[in-house]
Amino acid sequence: MLSLSARCFPSKFVSMKLTIQLLLTLVISLALTTVVIAEDDAISIEELEKLPPFPPKFDTLSYLERVNWLNERINEDISDAEEYRLQRELAYQYYFNGESKLTNAICGAHSPQSFDLYYRHLCVSADDLNYEQRAEAYLTLHESAMEQGAVQFAVEILSELGWLQSSKGNIRQAFQTFERALELGEDQRVTWPVLNMVMQNTATLYVMYGDAEYRQKGLKLHKEVLERTKELRDDNQLSPEQAQYAIDLTHFNLGVANTLHERDYETALDWFGKVNLQQAEQAKSTLVFSALAAVELGKLELAENYLDQSSQLADPNPVVERYLACYQQLVSLQLNNQDDIPACLNLHPDTQLEVKLDVYKRMSELEQADLRAKGQEYFYELYKSTLQNQLKQSSSAMASSAELNRLQLESKLQKELLEKEELLKDAERERRETQSNLMYAIIAIFILVVVFGLLQIRQKLRQAKRFKALSQRDSLTGLHNRLYFEGRIQRELDAVNLANREEDNKRLAVYLFDIDYFKKLNDSYGHDIGDEVLKEFARRVTHALREQDMLVRWGGEEFLVVAKVDDEDDFHNIAQRIHKAVTQKLFILPNGLELPVTCTVGGVICPYLTDIDQVPHWRTLVQLADTAMYYGKSQGRNRWVCINEIPTKEVEEKVLNEGFKSLDKHQGVKLKTSNDQ
């Protein structure tokens, strides 16, 4: 294939072509950027690499704590790059804890950048795609990885694609995909664990779909992988953890191969016995297939022991869990512990073809006539839906040595054909580009006008973003304002709801407080002094609070705090810190004036109703905090009052409408004040 420098163009057309291509690239880039900026500026890989790492404590947090920590950071004033990184990490946390829908929602709202291959892969994994869509998405990821020089990632994607193809019965495509992965695996940038994974999957396909010769070749390849892994471990080229994972997986694969395909159950038990059940991901599968091998050998007591151990474990994959239940029932049937196998009659639709074939074959060999008939019926249905098409495509010899050799030759011929097609496409592309140069020259001026317009739009969007940030700040104290609070409080309440559903018992506290006799202070000393008092008041309260607490200026001399608390003691301590920060020292103002300033704090903890766990509307919380504050003022000011508990909705309604004075000994409302300390 000719390089660009070897092609011949008239010099004036080359110059014009390059100029117009640059203009077009600029317009497209600006157009795309303008769309993205409507939510966030485009993120570069350099910006992400400059960000500091997450604090070490992040790795020690539980799932819910990580989600809360990430959401708190997202709510802060952060750069676009930092928000992108936090949203991406949140998507990973949701996905690896079984919340695929939440992951998908983040992927839709915060699309992966083109260079971010692993985030793109996560979003593909979380999306609800059919076989054709997922295969197409994998191919697109593979092409992007090759364009970026990420060969190892490209190999990993091919391995996933090959396994997907084989699970759907597309054996021809699967072998070709793994063949390509092995070719790329020769690149020095591909690490041994990744190459090992490809070799393991290739060997497994040989065993699953090959003839006797290729089954032996697959077993041999598994053993070679095992020895190579041990050598690399002994030479310190693989960490002990990586090596143990690969060794356990190989032992397991050899055990399965001898159980399901060779039916050499004695050898299978030897391989299963080498799997480290304390660490291996396949612990339950190992025990179930060990029980199957033992019962086939007539070792009934051993089979019973393996079966009991397996019943104590669960596999996180619902497809695997369902077919393992089937094998457990087959073992129990032979042990005369039960007379039915309902799990085998209801395998998951995504169960691997290899497993379906083995299960239905074993059912067809059972002594029970009704179960044997069911096995034959299911085997015939599988033949019609999957095997028949596969046999027509591959003439029943796909994995034989002759067919595999033919596939290798066919693959080479296809590559040559693709190269020739690419040459023809290049020639056609050059012809069209030459014809298009004249048209490009005519529209160049129009493009420049569009560029200017897009630049203007981009500038206005950036200004709008800055104005939005300014509109959420109080100009006097620098604190966030009520608009900022209203935009974020619902997310905090949702987090409390989620934590309560998970029995995490996280609670939310809302405090409303103001400066005592502030109007008198303003009248006596003037508004300038009043402003200085407000600024010093805001500074002191800010230093008294934690980084994650939300402090806003509610209006005039009123301020509001939202804080996550663990219990009532935590709730009271924050009220005490606010009060103490204001009252413990005189306010020293810029003109040298020293003033004693006090405040009254009202607070409510959520949830506070004893008869329901439902989180109320934020306006109700603010109104209750306001009621508590005015109760404190009626008791002499310079104090804090916290509502710990309200017994019923009826009492809550009475408190909201009439305050505390109308209640008979507060009618079960539990209050705590600074005077109780």
Convert the pLDDT of each residue in 299-325 to its tens digit: 999 999 999 998 998 887 888 999 999
CA 198 to chain centre: 25
User: For residue 504, which phi and psi values (nearest 5 degrees)?
Assistant: -90, -15
Position 640 pLDDT exceeds 90: yes
Report the range of poorest mean pLDDT among 106-120, 367-381, 540-554, 617-631. Answer: 367-381
Closest listed residue to residue 507, CA positions, set 519, 496, 522: 496
**Euclidean distance between the first and the last CA atom of the chain, given in angstroms as a whole number:** 85
Scored b (16 or more CB within 10 A) or e, 123-139 reads: bbbbeeeeeeebbebbe
Distance between CA atoms of 367 and 373, rounded to whole angstroms? 10
Three-state DSSP class for residue 94: helix
Structural contact between residues 671 and 624, judged by C-beta atoms closer than 8 angstroms: no
Split at pLDDT 50, 70, 90, the class of 399 is: very low
CA–CA distances in Å: residue 491 to residues 335, 369, 405, 618: 55, 60, 60, 11
Tokens in use for 360?
């239905």
pLDDT of residue 390: 59
Q: What is the mean pLDDT of residues 617-639?
A: 94
Position 11 pLDDT exceeds 50: no
Tokens in use for 509?
């506290």
Split at pLDDT 50, 70, 90, the class of 349 is: confident
Split at pLDDT 50, 70, 90, the class of 328 is: very high
pLDDT of residue 397: 43
CA–CA distances in Å: residue 121 to residues 45, 97, 134: 17, 17, 11
Distance between CA atoms of 203 and 126, rounded to whole angstroms? 28
Position 286 pLDDT exceeds 50: yes
Position 240 pLDDT exceeds 80: yes
pLDDT of residue 603: 97
Distance between CA atoms of 363 and 374, rounded to whole angstroms? 7
Position 173 pLDDT exceeds 50: yes
Closest listed residue to residue 84, CA positions, set 105, 56, 106, 65: 106
Q: What is the mean pLDDT of residues 612-639?
A: 91
Tokens in use for 418?
């693709």
Q: Which single residue is written with the structure tokens 């990632």?
A: 153
Closest listed residue to residue 114, CA positions, set 42, 37, 39: 42
Out of 194-203, 332-341, 624-633, the most confident range is 624-633
Three-state DSSP class for residue 314: coil
Within 10 angstroms of residue 26's Cβ, the number of other Cβ atoms is 16
- Burial of 572: CB neighbours in 10 Å, binned 0-12, 13-18, 19+: buried
CA 606 to chain centre: 29
Q: Which amino acid is at 350?
A: D
The region that residue 280 occupies, defined by phi over 0 for left and psi between -120 and 50 for alpha, beta otherwise, is beta
Convert the pLDDT of each residue in 351-364 to its tens digit: 888 888 889 889 98
pLDDT of residue 573: 96
Tell me the torsion sign for CA atoms 481, 483, 484, 488: positive
Position 487 pLDDT exceeds 70: yes
| Residue 338, CB-side half-sphere exposure with 13 Å CA sphere | 13
pLDDT of residue 267: 94
Distance between CA atoms of 381 and 82, rounded to whole angstroms? 53
| Beta strand 550-555 pairing with 558-565 | antiparallel
pLDDT of residue 465: 55
Split at pLDDT 50, 70, 90, the class of 14 is: very low
Closest listed residue to residue 433, CA positions, set 30, 144, 24: 24
Position 477 pLDDT exceeds 90: yes
Convert the pLDDT of each residue in 456-473 to its tens digit: 666 665 654 554 555 788
Structural contact between residues 318 and 284, judged by C-beta atoms closer than 8 angstroms: no
Convert the pLDDT of each residue in 51-68 to its tens digit: 999 999 999 999 999 999
- Burial of 274: CB neighbours in 10 Å, binned 0-12, 13-18, 19+: middle
pLDDT of residue 431: 78
User: For residue 203, which phi and psi values (nearest 5 degrees)?
Assistant: -60, -40
Interacting residues of 462 by C-beta distance below 8 A, sequence separation 6+: 37
The C-alpha R_g of the chain, in whole angstroms, comes to 34
Three-state DSSP class for residue 594: strand
Structural contact between residues 578 and 544, judged by C-beta atoms closer than 8 angstroms: yes
Distance between CA atoms of 627 and 622, rounded to whole angstroms? 9
Convert the pLDDT of each residue in 104-119 to its tens digit: 999 998 999 999 999 9
Position 666 pLDDT exceeds 80: no
Largest pairwise CA distance in the chain: 102
pLDDT of residue 612: 66
In SS3 terms, 336-363 reads as CCCCCCHHHHHCCCCCCHHHHHHHHHHH
Convert the pLDDT of each residue in 109-150 to its tens digit: 899 999 999 999 999 999 989 989 999 999 999 999 999 999
Within 10 angstroms of residue 61's Cβ, the number of other Cβ atoms is 15
* pLDDT top residue among 216 and 436: 216
CA–CA distances in Å: residue 447 to residues 19, 440, 454: 12, 9, 10
pLDDT of residue 35: 35
* pLDDT top residue among 418 and 118: 118
DSSP character string of 561-589: EEEEESSHHHHHHHHHHHHHHHHSS-EE-
Report the range of poorest mean pLDDT among 86-90, 209-213, 447-451. Answer: 447-451
Position 266 pLDDT exceeds 70: yes
pLDDT of residue 442: 73
State the chain's mean pLDDT as an integer: 82
Distance between CA atoms of 74 and 59, rounded to whole angstroms? 18
Position 412 pLDDT exceeds 60: no
Tokens in use for 235?
């030479």
Q: What is the mean pLDDT of residues 539-561?
A: 95
Convert the pLDDT of each residue in 364-392 to its tens digit: 888 888 888 888 888 888 877 776 555 54
Position 411 pLDDT exceeds 70: no
Tokens in use for 630?
């005015």
Split at pLDDT 50, 70, 90, the class of 246 is: confident
